[in-house]
């Protein structure tokens, strides 16, 4: 069966520091991968998605970036965090672009 | 852009039925989804319905789809305290992006 992992689970970082969040999927090949941000436990905002290694599409302009160095690894990064980057970051995968998405456990980021 | 709307809060007593409602705007959606999020956790796919169906039942869950009114509902029979969570409906817009509602917090009172 397929599983999706995210780490770290929780992160507290000072403003201006770098960020690296990692997501990995097991049990499937060539998944579509997604990064979402959820603010205040409510609606989800799609940040990035990837349909293959090295292929990244950005949905919103921001100081975040994403990379997919391996088939089942998706990384969310920032060179300098802002206070507004605080939130709950969720990684998801799907088999098809228009298919159901399956979410990881999330990373809670607090920027102080 | 497309929009998905849900009421923010629903409170029921344990053992009662819960009905969570959702309206959407994209009439070309092929699938519509219901997700459950427990505190501090990721989203769990509960069920989904294909747009050519009116109803789908899965154990205690019943999904009803009214395409004319673009209305989707999730009924939970015999609601338990473990059903307390935030429930999100979601649909695909024509760009292929999955659009989520703001989520309905379900509170189950013993």
Return the pLDDT at B1: 59
Return the pLDDT at A62: 79
In the predicted model, what is the mean pLDDT of residues B99-108? 95
Return the pLDDT at B48: 93
CA B27-B17-A42 angle, 5° bins: 55
Unique residue bearing structure tokens 């709307």: B5
pLDDT tens-digit readout, B50-89: 988 999 999 999 999 999 999 999 999 999 999 999 999 9
Mean pLDDT of chain A: 94
Residue B82: CB partners within 8 Å, gap ≥ 6? none
Residue A40: CB partners within 8 Å, gap ≥ 6? none
B31 interface with A at CB cutoff 8 Å: yes
B44 interface with A at CB cutoff 8 Å: yes
Question: Quick one: tokens of A15?
Answer: 């403003």
- Which candidate from B35, B42, B88 shows the least CB-CB separation from A105? B42
pLDDT tens-digit readout, A38-96: 987 578 999 999 999 999 999 886 799 999 999 999 999 999 999 999 999 999 999 98
Tell me which H or E stretch contains B84: none
* Interface residues of chain A, partner chain B, Cβ below 8 Å: 6, 41-44, 46, 59, 90, 92, 97-106, 108
pLDDT tens-digit readout, B10-62: 999 999 999 999 999 877 778 899 999 999 899 999 999 998 899 999 999 99
In the predicted model, what is the mean pLDDT of residues A2-13? 96
B33 interface with A at CB cutoff 8 Å: yes
Whether residues B97 and A102 touch (CB distance < 8 A) is answered with no
Return the pLDDT at A97: 85
Return the pLDDT at B92: 85
CA dihedral of B15, B41, B100, B64, whole degrees rounded to 10 = -30
Give which of B98, B102, B103 to mutate to test A binding, by max A Cβ within 10 Å: B98
Mean pLDDT of chain B: 92
Size of the A and B interface in Cβ pairs below 8 Å: 44
Are residues B33 and B45 in contact, defined by beta-carbon separation less than 8 angstroms?
yes
Whether residues A46 and B102 touch (CB distance < 8 A) is answered with no
Are residues A50 and A57 in contact, defined by beta-carbon separation less than 8 angstroms?
yes
Return the pLDDT at B51: 87
Range from A15-24, A91-100, B91-100 that averages highest in pLDDT = A15-24
């Amino acid at each position: 069966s397929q599983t999706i992992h995210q780490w770290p689970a929780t992160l507290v970082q000072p403003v201006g520091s770098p960020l690296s969040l990692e997501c990995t999927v097991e049990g499937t090949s060539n998944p579509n991968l997604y990064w979402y941000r959820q603010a205040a436990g409510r609606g989800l905002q799609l940040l990035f998605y990837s349909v293959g290694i090295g292929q990244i599409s950005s949905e919103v302009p921001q100081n975040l970036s994403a990379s997919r160095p391996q088939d089942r690894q998706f990384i969310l990064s920032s060179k300098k965090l802002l206070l507004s980057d605080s939130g709950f970051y969720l990684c998801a995968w799907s088999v098809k672009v228009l298919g159901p998405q399956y979410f990881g456990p999330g990373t809670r980021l607090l920027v102080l | 852009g497309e929009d998905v709307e849900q009421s923010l809060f629903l409170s029921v007593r344990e053992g009662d039925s819960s009905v969570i409602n959702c309206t959407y705007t994209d009439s070309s959606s092929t699938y519509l989804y219901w997700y459950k999020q427990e505190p501090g956790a990721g989203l769990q796919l509960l069920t989904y319905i294909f747009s050519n169906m009116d109803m789908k039942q899965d154990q205690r869950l019943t999904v009803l789809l009214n395409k004319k009114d673009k209305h989707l509902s999730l009924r939970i029979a015999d609601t338990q305290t473990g059903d307390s969570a935030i429930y999100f409906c979601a649909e695909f817009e024509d760009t292929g992006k999955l659009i989520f509602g703001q989520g309905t917090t379900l509170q189950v009172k013993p």
